[in-house]
Each structure stands twice: as C-alpha cells, then as structure tokens.
C-alpha cells in the first residue's frame, strides 16, 4: 500500500518502526530529542522511547559520533545524526579513523552497526560554511559505505537497510529534499541497498546523477524528450560502493555519458565515475564522457551566484545537447 | 592483599618488562617493523589498574598498549605475532603494535590517534549504562592527550549522564618530546576533571600497591552508579617515545633522577635499541619492580628463589611467544579482503544485471 509523504516523514517512520522492533537501536545528536530534530526526522521519538534511546547531545560532534562507534562495538545499533555535513568535519576522526577502521584493524572482531545520518548540499543562501558537499572525501574511505537517497521511497528503504547493516554507513540526506514529497510503499519488494536505479529509460544518452541532482536531471530529460533526445537517467542511490554494472550496461547501449553532481567538479564522485566508465566502456563511447558539476568555488551567499554555482536544469540541457550534437567531436 | 594476588601482580610486572625487552630486541633485529612504543617504567600503572578490574569490565587503550593487553589476559604469543604482522596475531596482522584488539577479553583496542580512547570509552559506557549492567569501562590516555578536544567533550558527556568510566591518565610528563610544562597550562592533570565535577585523585604511579588500591576504590564507585572517576598516575617512561626516538630532548639530570631509583633504567642507554644484560640490571639497585619484589619477600609472600623461578618461567613464556611469532605465517591479501567484508555477512549489496 503506498502513500504520498515527505522525505523527512519517510525517515521518521523508519526510525519509529525500527526502534519499536529492536531495543538495541538508539539515536543521538544535537536537538534530536525534545526539539524533534532540525528537520523533524526524530520527531516524537523521545516521548515514545525515552532519553536513553533518543539522546540530545552537547555540541561535540567528534565525541558523540565516537560515542556511536564505541556503542556499536558493544552491539548497540546507533543512528547518529549530525545536524549538517559541515559539522561532520569535526567528526571526521570518529568516522574515518574509528568507524571505518576498527572492524578491519581488529581482524574482524568487532561489528560496526553504525548509521551516520546527515544532510549535505547547497540549500538556500546559507553561506559557504553551510553549503558543503563532502561525498568526495567520504567515498574515498575504505571500510565506509555511503548511500545518497533522492526520493522518500529510497530514504525509507535505505535507512532501514543501513540500520540493519553491521557495517558503518554514512546516510547522506539533502537539505532541500526533506520537504519533497513522494510515494512510499512500505510493503514493496526492497531493492539491494547499493543498487542503482534507472529512473527514466532513453536510447540516446545516459545521465548518471545522485541525491537532489537526480530530480534536476529528470527535469532536463523531460525537456530533452520534447526535442527528440531520449536521455536515460540513472539514480546511483549509493556512492560507496557504486553499482558499476547498471552504469556500464546503460552506457554500452547509449554510447553517450553525462555525469551530473552537485559536489565540486575537482576530484569528486564525477571524476571517479568518468575514469572508471572510460576504462570499462571506452570502445562503446561515441564521445568523451561529460561532467556537469558544482563550480570549484566556496558557495557564494548571493542568491543568483549561489544558484549558478551548482548544476541547474539549463546546464544539463546545454551539456546534453553538446554531447549529442556533432559539436561534441571537438570537446 | 593476599599472597596469591601479590605474586600475580609481581609476575605481570616482570612479564610486562620481559615482553617489551623481547619486542625491542625483535625491532633491533629488523623482525618487527613500524612504530613500536614501549612501556618500561610504567608497569605499575597497567598492573595496578588492571588487577583491580573485573573480567566483565572493558578496557580502552592507546598506542602504548602491549602491556595493557598482556595484563588483561591476551596471550603473549598472540600479541607478539601481531607485532610481527602475522596471521596468528590477535588482530590477524591487520592492526600491528598500536592496534591490539581482543573482543573476548573486552579489550576494545589500542588507538593510535591521540584522544580517541575517550569517545570509544564513552560509547561503551553508554551501552553498559543503557543496559543497566554492573560493568565499568577503563579508559587509558597519556598526559599529552588531555589537550585534545575529545578529552573535554567526553568528560562532559560522561559526567552529564553519569557513565561508568574510570579515566586513567598515565602521566609520564611527555607528549613525545614536549615536556608537560610546555604543553599544559595546568600541569596537575587531575585538576582538570574538577571542571566537569568528576572525582579525581593523583597517585604515585610507580607504586603498584597505591595504584591498585586507588583503582579498586574508584572502580567500586563507578560500579555503584556514582558516575565517572578520574585517576592521574604519575609515572615515567625510560625510553624514547618510540623505537624511532632516541629521547635526546630529555635533560640528563631528569633521566638520572629517575634512574637513581631504577636499575633497569640505569642500564638503558636511550640511543641503543637493545636492553641491559641481567648483570647490569642486578648491579643497579632498587626500582619499582625490585622494590615490589622486596616488599613481597618482606611480607613472606615470596623469596628470592621463588622470584628467580618466576623470572625463569616468564623467560620461557616470552621466548616461546617470540618463536611462535617468528614461525607464524603472514596473512595474504585474500584474508585482508575477507576481514574488510566480514561484517557484510549475508547482506546483498547489489544485484548483477541479467
């Protein structure tokens, strides 16, 4: 049975049902308790499960994320909320040096059933310190897994899967997605957590995107269809690991590949995608792989400049047209 | 304290030093690589604290943790094999000297980033408190680690939620080469715990009986729900920070002052990677280990013959550990991958397309 709900509601629903089913699940972070979470994800949980399971923490990202690591070693399944990814820079040691490495360095003696939730991305004029994307750093860490749900349905499925996993998983949300709506079917067959999905099929080119950029890519695909260009849109859903087979299969069919990412272009997810796909699809490609990405600039506060610093529908349209036209030969 | 417990403590102090001597030797021979941080001089701390712990307690340690693991009960061969990077090591050759872990003995690991032991202890203690178990978490750290942000963050949370943690500062006065007066505005570390309302005490870390008594009292309070407790144990490491460090930054007058009370230290030349001969040790007078040996003899718990036999048994144990480590196989890359993916168990990450 499906129902149209907000992205934050999908997350909230998972937290509630999972916490009801398993008392080893706890959640902690700044304002997750009494306040109900900055984006309402933990709303109502403290009243229901008490303060030991829904813990408001001091502003100490490194130590409360590390607390999650230590608790996970003893068998709890903590869901740590970091208010925004920008604050996760304080917790990088707990995430990279501790969560990602303890299971390995201990010779697999300890599980790490830790989920670290946080929103990233450019929102609306929050300034350079509150508009970052950090996936380029976190996807480069062996031992860490990272999912990037774009829809309420995926938020629902993937959070549940992340909580059930014994690996540490970074659950990357997006500030502009919390209040997006979508159908959520709680009884549908669940795809594997790191599986990419074809959101829209198209014979002419393959567009690979993740998180909010999937929605922007779909808008562009709609427009391109009216011009007679059929663009496949693949929603990666996961940045570590990446479902290469789905990407390779599509690129081998369309012979054109466009990568869209909100993160800065330099040394990011798009660079990894382009490098690996050219290794695996070189003889299938009619044109060089193209990237549409965030500019390599701290996000400007000014609204117009901010909007221009990350991919917009028109940027994707222009890149797609270039890629498909003969002009692409010169790129 | 009864005879058995005293002799067990002395045995562990002797094992600790013999183990580290063997490790230094292995390093000098090129059989052990990487960073190697040795414990001689500080034995009374690990032995005093861990002999006051229960088997159900958890231990979180630093990168100078061979002795913590050993005293906690991790078999010497498995620690030695880990130092050699072997498959039979306690961390299967994936951790090394600074990352000994033993889940079955609740040894939550050695951490090589200064200041990481607090949040790990915080999380373990949170789990214990949430489950309302009568267990304590022992968190080791050095004087250099108290200026890390996690110290203040974690002490605050531990006190705020009354978590069952015994914070143990091994104050050896040096953060690598920087003496405490040059790295801390407040050099009496225990006073910092007052800022978080955590009961704290400073104890002579060279006297194993004082350490043991203080740790036992503190652990009783931790287990009775009084919240975290804090011990500052003043000690001294005779060697440099690691085997790569000759320790030349320490004034010789300071080293001599400590050496005056320690035969082993007296015989150590910092620039040498080898250890003193038994003759040199015997010639040098009383130290924390021989002081405690003398105490045991005075109390008629042991005699010279008994101690000599003990040393002999320990040497046999450590020699066997070295032989085991040297003879063990190296892990292969396949093992490394399977360890990395061990926690995935039956999870399906993605499906291959048709």
Percent pLDDT > 90 in chain B is 74
pLDDT (0 to 100) of residue B264: 46
Lowest-confidence segment of A80-84, A88-92, B302-306 by average pLDDT: B302-306
pLDDT (0 to 100) of residue B300: 86
pLDDT (0 to 100) of residue A331: 43
For residue A326, name the pLDDT band (cuts at 50, 70, 90). Answer: low
Q: How far apart are CA A265 and CA A263, in angstroms?
A: 6
For residue B251, name the pLDDT band (cuts at 50, 70, 90). Answer: low
Query: Taking all residues of chain A, what is their mean pLDDT, rounded to a whole number?
Result: 96
Q: How far apart are CA A84 and CA A41, in angstroms?
A: 13
Name which of B96, B126, B337 to mutate to probe chain A: the one with the most chain A Cβ atoms within 10 A of its Cβ.
B126
Q: Kindly give the residue spans of alpha helices, DSSP state H, lying in B260-327.
A: 263-267, 278-282, 288-298, 304-327
A169: β partners: A115, A145
pLDDT digits (tens, 9 = 90+) for A190-232: 999 999 999 999 999 999 999 999 999 999 999 999 999 999 9
Phi-psi region of A143 (alpha: psi -120 to 50; beta: other; left: phi over 0): left
For residue B249, name the pLDDT band (cuts at 50, 70, 90). Answer: confident
A4 Cβ contact partners less than 8 Å away, ≥ 6 residues apart: A181, A182, A183, A184
Question: Do residue B343 and residue A103 have CB atoms under 8 angstroms apart?
Answer: yes
* Nearest CA-CA partner of A164 in A115, A118, A103: A115
* Nearest CA-CA partner of B110 in A20, A285, A97, A41: A97
pLDDT (0 to 100) of residue B46: 97
Question: Do residue A72 and residue B156 have CB atoms under 8 angstroms apart?
Answer: no
Question: Do residue A69 and residue B340 have CB atoms under 8 angstroms apart?
Answer: no
Do B53 and B295 meet the contact criterion of CB atoms below 8 Å apart?
no
CB contacts, 8 Å: A76 with chain B: 126-127, 130
CB contacts, 8 Å: B101 with chain A: 102, 105-107, 109-110
Percent pLDDT > 90 in chain A is 98
For residue B194, name the pLDDT band (cuts at 50, 70, 90). Answer: very high
pLDDT (0 to 100) of residue B267: 41
**Which two structure tokens, joined as six digits, stand for B22?**
């063997």
Regarding pTM above 0.80, the answer is yes
pLDDT (0 to 100) of residue B266: 40
Structural domains present in chain A: 2-185 (3.40.50.970), 197-326 (3.40.50.920)
pLDDT (0 to 100) of residue B177: 87
pLDDT (0 to 100) of residue B263: 43
pLDDT (0 to 100) of residue B354: 56
CB contacts, 8 Å: B108 with chain A: 70, 73, 110
Would you say how long chain B is, in residues?
Answer: 354
Question: Do residue B108 and residue A98 have CB atoms under 8 angstroms apart?
Answer: no
Structural domains present in chain B: 3-329 (3.40.50.970)
Question: Do residue B120 and residue A72 have CB atoms under 8 angstroms apart?
Answer: no
For residue A78, name the pLDDT band (cuts at 50, 70, 90). Answer: very high
pLDDT (0 to 100) of residue B243: 74
Question: Do residue A58 and residue B113 have CB atoms under 8 angstroms apart?
Answer: no
Rounded (10°) angle between helices B76-83 and B304-327: 50
- The β-bridge relationship of strands A2-6 and A181-185 is antiparallel
Is 60 exceeded by the pLDDT of residue B285? no
pLDDT (0 to 100) of residue B259: 60
pLDDT digits (tens, 9 = 90+) for A267-318: 999 999 999 999 999 999 999 999 999 999 999 999 999 999 999 999 999 9
Is 80 exceeded by the pLDDT of residue B44? yes
pLDDT (0 to 100) of residue B40: 87
- In this complex, the residue of A62, A195, A241 whose CB is nearest that of residue B119 is A62
For residue A327, name the pLDDT band (cuts at 50, 70, 90). Answer: very low
- In this complex, the residue of A69, A73, A194 whose CB is nearest that of residue B349 is A194
User: Running DSSP on this structure, what letter comes out for residue A65?
Assistant: H
Measure in Å the smallest separation between the Cα of A113 and chain B Cα atoms: 9
What angle is formed at CA A17 by the lines to CA A11 and CA A20, rounded to 5 degrees? Answer: 135
Do A85 and A119 meet the contact criterion of CB atoms below 8 Å apart?
yes
Average confidence (pLDDT) over B307-328: 97
Is 80 exceeded by the pLDDT of residue B276? no
A259: β partners: A208, A291
Query: Taking all residues of chain B, what is their mean pLDDT, rounded to a whole number?
Result: 89
Q: How far apart are CA A227 and CA A325, in angstroms?
A: 12
Lowest-confidence segment of A9-18, A113-122, B13-22, B229-238 by average pLDDT: B229-238
pLDDT (0 to 100) of residue B157: 98
CB contacts, 8 Å: A112 with chain B: 343
HSE-CB at A54 with a 13 A cutoff on CA atoms is: 22
Chain A residue with minimum CA distance to B86: A107
Average confidence (pLDDT) over B51-74: 98
Measure in Å the smallest separation between the Cα of B138 and chain A Cα atoms: 13
Percent pLDDT > 70 in chain B is 88
- In this complex, the residue of B123, B149, B342 whose CB is nearest that of residue A62 is B149
pLDDT digits (tens, 9 = 90+) for B134-192: 999 999 999 999 999 999 999 999 999 999 999 999 999 999 889 999 999 999 999 99
Percent pLDDT > 70 in chain A is 98
Q: How far apart are CA A254 and CA A203, in angstroms?
A: 5
Q: How far apart are CA B126 and CA B165, in angstroms?
A: 9
Question: Do residue B122 and residue A26 have CB atoms under 8 angstroms apart?
Answer: no
Q: How far apart are CA B216 and CA B48, in angstroms?
A: 9
The catalytic residues of A are: 61, 130
**Which two structure tokens, joined as six digits, stand for A100?**
């990602």
Lowest-confidence segment of A197-206, B268-277, B287-296 by average pLDDT: B268-277
Residue A325 or B230, more confident: B230
Residue A256 or B269, more confident: A256
CB contacts, 8 Å: A206 with chain B: none
Average confidence (pLDDT) over A179-193: 96
pLDDT (0 to 100) of residue B272: 43
pLDDT (0 to 100) of residue B270: 38
């Amino acid at each position: 049975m499906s129902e149209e709900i907000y992205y934050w509601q999908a997350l909230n629903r998972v937290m509630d049902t999972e916490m009801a089913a398993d008392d080893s699940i706890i959640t902690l972070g700044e304002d997750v308790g009494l306040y109900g979470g900055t984006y309402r994800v933990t709303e109502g949980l403290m009243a229901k499960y008490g303060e030991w399971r829904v813990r408001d923490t001091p502003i100490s990202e490194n130590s409360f994320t590390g607390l999650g690591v230590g608790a996970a070693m003893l068998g709890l399944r903590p869901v740590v909320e970091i208010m925004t990814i920008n604050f996760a820079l304080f917790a990088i040691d707990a995430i990279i040096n501790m969560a990602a490495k303890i299971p390995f360095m201990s010779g697999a003696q300890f599980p790490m059933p830790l989920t670290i939730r946080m929103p990233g991305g450019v929102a609306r004029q929050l300034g350079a310190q509150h508009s970052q994307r950090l996936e380029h750093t976190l996807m480069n860490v062996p031992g860490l897994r990272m999912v990037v749900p774009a829809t309420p349905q995926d938020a629902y499925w993937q959070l549940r899967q992340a909580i059930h996993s014994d690996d540490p998983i970074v659950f990357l949300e997006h500030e502009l997605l919390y209040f997006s709506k979508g159908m959520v079917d709680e009884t549908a067959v669940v795809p594997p957590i790191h599986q990419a999905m074809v959101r829209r099929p198209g014979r002419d080119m393959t567009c690979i995107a993740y998180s909010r950029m999937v929605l922007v890519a779909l808008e562009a695909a709609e427009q391109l269809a009216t011009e007679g260009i059929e663009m496949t849109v693949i929603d990666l859903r996961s940045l570590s690991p990446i479902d290469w087979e789905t990407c390779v299969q599509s690129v081998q069919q369309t012979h054109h590949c466009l990568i869209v990412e909100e993160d800065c272009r330099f040394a990011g997810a798009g660079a990894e995608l382009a490098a690996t796909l050219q290794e695996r699809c070189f003889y299938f490609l009619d044109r060089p792989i193209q990237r549409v990405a965030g500019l390599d600039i701290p996000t400007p506060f000014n609204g117009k400049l901010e909007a221009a610093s990350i991919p917009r529908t028109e940027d994707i349209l222009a890149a797609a047209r270039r890629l498909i036209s003969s002009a692409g030969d010169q790129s | 304290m009864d005879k058995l417990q005293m002799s067990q403590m002395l045995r562990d102090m002797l094992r600790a030093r013999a183990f580290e001597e063997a490790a230094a030797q292995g390093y000098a021979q090129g059989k052990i690589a990487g960073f190697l941080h040795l414990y001689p001089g500080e034995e009374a701390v690990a032995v005093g604290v861990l002999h006051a712990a229960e088997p159900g307690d958890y231990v979180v340690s630093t990168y100078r943790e061979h002795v913590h693991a050993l005293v906690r009960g991790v078999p010497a061969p498995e620690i030695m094999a880990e130092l050699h990077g072997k498959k039979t090591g306690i961390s299967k050759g994936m951790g090394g000297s600074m990352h000994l872990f033993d889940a079955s003995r609740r040894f939550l690991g050695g951490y090589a980033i200064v200041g990481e032991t607090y949040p790990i202890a915080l999380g373990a203690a949170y789990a214990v408190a949430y489950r309302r178990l009568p267990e304590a978490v022992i968190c080791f750290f050095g004087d250099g680690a108290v200026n890390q942000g996690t110290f203040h963050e974690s002490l605050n949370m531990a006190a705020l939620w009354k978590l069952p943690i015994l914070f143990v500062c091994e104050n050896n006065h040096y953060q690598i080469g920087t003496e405490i007066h040059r790295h801390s505005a407040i050099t009496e570390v225990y006073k910092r715990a007052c800022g978080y309302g955590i009961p704290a005490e400073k104890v002579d870390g060279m006297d194993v009986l004082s350490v043991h008594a203080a740790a036992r009292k503190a652990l009783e309070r931790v287990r009775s729900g009084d919240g975290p407790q804090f011990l500052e144990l003043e000690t001294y490491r005779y060697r440099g920070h690691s085997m790569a460090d000759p320790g030349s930054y320490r004034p010789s007058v300071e080293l001599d002052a400590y050496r005056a009370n320690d035969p082993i230290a007296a015989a150590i030349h910092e620039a040498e990677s080898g250890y003193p001969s038994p003759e040199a040790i015997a010639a040098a007078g009383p130290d924390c280990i021989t002081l405690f040996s003398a105490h045991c003899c005075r109390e008629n718990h042991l005699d010279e013959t008994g101690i000599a036999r003990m040393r002999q048994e320990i040497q046999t144990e450590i020699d066997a550990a070295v032989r085991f480590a040297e003879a063990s196989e190296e892990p292969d890359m396949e093992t490394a991958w399977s360890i990395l993916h061990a926690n995935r168990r039956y999870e399906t990450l993605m499906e291959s397309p048709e």
